[in-house]
Structure 1
Amino acid sequence: MTAHRLSMAGKVGFTLGDYASNLYWQSVSIFLLFFYTDAVGLSAATAGLIYMIASIVDALADPIMGSIADRTRTSRGRYRPYILFGCVPLGLSFVLLYWRPPFEGLLLTLWMMMSHIVFRFAYTAVTIPYTSLNARLTDNSDERSTLAGWRMTFGVLAALTISYFTYPLVGMLGNGNAANGYTYAAAVFAVIATAIYPLVYAITCEPAELPNEEPRLTLGGYWRGLAPNRAFWVLVAATVVASICTFALGKSILYYFKYYLHDEAAARFALAAMAVSGLAIIPGWVWLTKSIGKRNAWLAAVAWALVMLAIFQAFDFRSALSMTIWLVAWSVGSLGFAMTFWSMLPDTVEYGEWTSGARTESFIFGLFQFFLKAALGIGAGLFGWLLQHVGYVANTDQSPETLAGIKAIMVWMPGAGVFLAGLIMLAYPLKRGTHEAIVEELNARMPSPDA
């Protein structure tokens, strides 16, 4: 049986891994597409295509990695060895991701795509086992909300680090060459992340395997165990549609500041402000999920996001300050989505075990990552195509029609996704108190140690 309550040291030690992981993820989420178009010189459509293909190829590996991790048994635990031994290849692949080779044309495109795929595989090998520990460390739903809050806090601190320091490092280390600057900046972040993962490994105590622990399933067994898990499939569907459509807003921020506001440097402070505000916002979402339940908290995030998008559509923000204020307000809803689904996902493990009798925690996390990454990849491809469609050309003044098109992308794509995600979440079966009852029933099913 997993622990119900974790010590503060255990919570911080485990969730510190999200700072390391998010140094990579936040950089890729915020800067990589911009790096492709404005530093490497790829067209927006090509950049989006690379991002989409790499994300989908990576996504295909996630459930496989999940099943491998589920079947792993070592004296160091199921999941911890991947964190320890995968961190160095991950750091090296991140530097490679931001290196522009002396190629042009098709060869350059293929190189950037392959380096992206290599990074994604290395990231999956570490982060699927890491996130799977969520369900193994505790089976208490409120404790998982607290863990999700700590994870989000460290993720926000990583976002602050990336947002605030990337531009200065690129300028200082690149000596006028933006592409080189991104390579050296990536190396700095990779060193920090690589140093953190062994600490997470050393501090985190993975529960020992029990004599009656669930058997190692075949791949077909995983699918049979997962098929009746309605909680998982509803969460997947809601997250996929939200991720595909909200991707456009996050990726548009750098373009909006550079071309709409003509103040590229201010984007650094806007992104940092969003990250800092998250330190105050996340505890509020933790409290709300415990107070009204996770499904209702998700729906509250939907309502907030739709109101913010309506405000953005109604008003023309022409100053960096007004846009920054709006982005901070928008991040209240976006952080609500992120906090809530990472809190919900471990609960679907017990729901699946309750419905099918099979516990497939790492496969669930891997498959969820598959859908999430595929959604983000589709969102990237769609965003790149739309950016090209509205007439975007890197490092030139954009036409009024192009600027209007960028803003339309930022409003209508997220609006559609958020609205659909809210409708889908109405079908989520784990209402407040349901998960606790399921855990009690599962504990009652377990044979006694004397049996």
Structure 2
Amino acid sequence: MIAPVANAPTVPRGVRLGYGVGSFCTATFAAVPGLLLLYYMTNFLAVPAWLAGAIVAAPKVWDLVINPLVGRWSDRTRSRLGPRRPWMLAGALTLPLAFVAVFAGPPLRGLPAALYVGACFLLAATAYALFEVPYKAMPAEMTEDYHERTSLLQWRMVFIGAATAISGILAPTIVNSQGDNGTLGSYRLMAVTIAVIMFAAMLGSFFGTARAPMTGAPEPDGGRLWEQFKAVRRNRAFIWLLALSSTQMLAVSMMLAAAPYFAAYTVGNPKATTTLFAVLVGPMLLTMPLWVWLSKRFDKRGAMVLAAVIYAGGTALAAATPVLGPVYAHLTLLLVGAGIAGVQLLQFSMLADVVAVDAAVTGKRRAGVFTGLWTAIESGIASFGALFFGTVLSIGGFIESDPSRPVRQPDTAVTAVLLGQTVVPSVIILLSVFMTLKYRLPRDVPWTDQASTTRPAMP
């Protein structure tokens, strides 16, 4: 176990709340397009499934460029607002408009519609990076204590659970408010509603973190971006953490893209998307204190393995839904929700540890570079979830349509929906367990630059 730093400052409750509320934006933007955009394109804009998956994935590749740049810019920013918050404000002022544009386009179909959505989604991804990258860099700079980072991020995860409820329950409810499958008008109403929520969350986090401590934050790294990347690449703990997180995110994004199809073609009720997310969110909120305790009892790595196994198990069990029915499907998501809670909490807590250790060893501030690279690769990998699921649908013979031309899907397409929601993601999640076993912090590094600190010791 790693001992906490002696006399480490406690992050004030108001700052914890202010920081956590920003997750209403990050979780919502990650969930809503992943949940509804592919379905919107294939079933309303008559875009072929493979092309829709590619369009959802393509703008996220841009993250590989913009996210590290935003991280580097925020590392080097000097202002009375601090290095991170000016960029968060820029994201708050631009993301809501770009998000609405994704779902509020001209009356296009097929390839022109796909190109329009892709261009707007690219703009939204850029605006999102302005907020997300500096936002995720902040926890490593707020406290030097190993376990307090988990406690701090517990608050963030509570807001993520609430945001998942909003995105997974409110968004589909608005979409389905004008018919079982929704209308173009209901999608636009949903986009405006979600954009307002994200705007309020981002402003709340901007103002709520005004008094956030920057304990022990070193000077910015003045090296070239490529040199910083080389230093990050040599950080073994970061590389394995990035690998396991990206693997888990690939599974999550694939399941998000599959959810409306699973509700419509497996459960047999398009509106079941709302209730499925409702039972998913409950365990995410209720089990958070348990995961904090488990991370102290078995260390973060051991708790991560347990969370991933629970997550994969619940996902695999859902494959029996056609035999056991809708109630059974909802019960399996209770397990999935508990696993997701642990996985997401521990991912970000472990990332903050890696960044803090790097700062203590090098004496340089490059949290933005770490988180920029992290979010870029994770986002790029996650974008392939929709592409993978779209490919599975195409292999199964799924037929694209629009409301004026409803079609009956072949049995092979229905089977592809089931496999894409259950078996395939479960296998992907289990791969992350083996990667978790490779993750280790250095055995002997100064935890901070203060002479009185303890040193972390992994078992």
TM-score w.r.t. the length of structure 2 is: 0.89
Q: Give the superposition deviation at 1:360.
A: 1.4
Report the equivalent of 1:216.
222
> What is the number of equivalent residue pairs in this alignment?
442
Q: Is 1:405 matched with 2:411?
A: no
Q: 1:335 to 1:40 in 2, by over 3 A?
A: farther
Aligned mates of 1:261, 1:94 — CA distance in 2: 30
Q: 1:241 to 1:171 in 2, by over 3 A?
A: closer
Deviations 1:240-259 (A, max 9, x none): 22322443233222111101
Q: Secondary structure at the match of 2:155?
A: helix
Q: 1:76 to 1:240 in 2, by over 3 A?
A: same
1:62-101 matches, cutoff 5 A: 62-101=67-106
Contact kept? 1:246, 1:413, Cα under 8 Å: no
Contact kept? 1:149, 1:339, Cα under 8 Å: yes
What amino acid sits opposite 1:415 in the alignment?
A: S
Residue 371 of structure 2: which of 359, 365, 384 is its match?
Answer: 365
Q: Give the superposition deviation at 1:144.
A: 1.0
Q: Give the superposition deviation at 1:18.
A: 0.8
Q: Is 1:34 matched with 2:39?
A: yes
Unaligned runs of 5+ in 2: 401-405, 454-459
Report the equivalent of 1:449.
none
Deviations 1:278-326 (A, max 9, x none): 1102222122112211111111123223433443345645532211111
Report the equivalent of 2:436.
425
Report the equivalent of 1:128.
133
Q: Give the superposition deviation at 1:46.
A: 1.1
Aligned mates of 1:341, 1:417 — CA distance in 2: 16
Q: Give the superposition deviation at 1:4.
A: 3.0
Deviations 1:2-42 (A, max 9, x none): 96311212111111111233232221222222222223222
Aligned mates of 2:240, 2:208 — CA distance in 1: 34
Q: 1:417 to 1:354 in 2, by over 3 A?
A: farther
Q: Give the superposition deviation at 1:147.
A: 1.9
Aligned mates of 1:405, 1:279 — CA distance in 2: 31
The percentage of aligned residue pairs carrying the same residue is 24
Aligned mates of 2:288, 2:258 — CA distance in 1: 23
1:148-297 matches, cutoff 5 A: 148-172=153-177, 178-204=183-209, 205-207=211-213, 213-297=219-303
Between Structure 1 and Structure 2, the one with more helix by share is 1
Q: 1:306 to 1:110 in 2, by over 3 A?
A: closer
Contact kept? 1:225, 1:359, Cα under 8 Å: no
Q: 1:318 to 1:37 in 2, by over 3 A?
A: farther
Report the equivalent of 1:299.
305
Q: Give the superposition deviation at 1:376.
A: 0.9
TM-score w.r.t. the length of structure 1 is: 0.90
Q: Give the superposition deviation at 1:333.
A: 1.5
Q: 1:315 to 1:209 in 2, by over 3 A?
A: closer
1:49-60 matches, cutoff 5 A: 49-60=54-65
Q: 1:291 to 1:364 in 2, by over 3 A?
A: same
Contact kept? 1:263, 1:320, Cα under 8 Å: no
Q: 1:260 to 1:147 in 2, by over 3 A?
A: same
What amino acid sits opposite 1:43 in the alignment?
A: P
Aligned mates of 1:441, 1:207 — CA distance in 2: 15
Report the equivalent of 1:107.
112
Aligned mates of 1:54, 1:174 — CA distance in 2: 30
Q: 1:268 to 1:310 in 2, by over 3 A?
A: closer
Report the equivalent of 1:414.
425
Q: Secondary structure at the match of 2:149?
A: helix
Residue 374 of structure 1: which of 368, 377, 380 is its match?
Answer: 380
Q: Secondary structure at the match of 1:444?
A: coil
Aligned mates of 1:308, 1:73 — CA distance in 2: 46
Deviations 1:132-152 (A, max 9, x none): 111111121211101221111
Aligned mates of 1:114, 1:416 — CA distance in 2: 33
What amino acid sits opposite 2:112 in the alignment?
A: L
Aligned mates of 2:180, 2:425 — CA distance in 1: 37
Residue 319 of structure 1: which of 325, 334, 346 is its match?
Answer: 325
Deviations 1:160-189 (A, max 9, x none): 112222233234479996122111211122
CA RMSD after TM alignment: 2.7
Aligned mates of 1:327, 1:211 — CA distance in 2: 41
Aligned mates of 1:120, 1:235 — CA distance in 2: 23
Contact kept? 1:52, 1:378, Cα under 8 Å: yes
Aligned mates of 1:28, 1:105 — CA distance in 2: 19
Aligned mates of 1:148, 1:137 — CA distance in 2: 11
Aligned mates of 1:140, 1:223 — CA distance in 2: 26
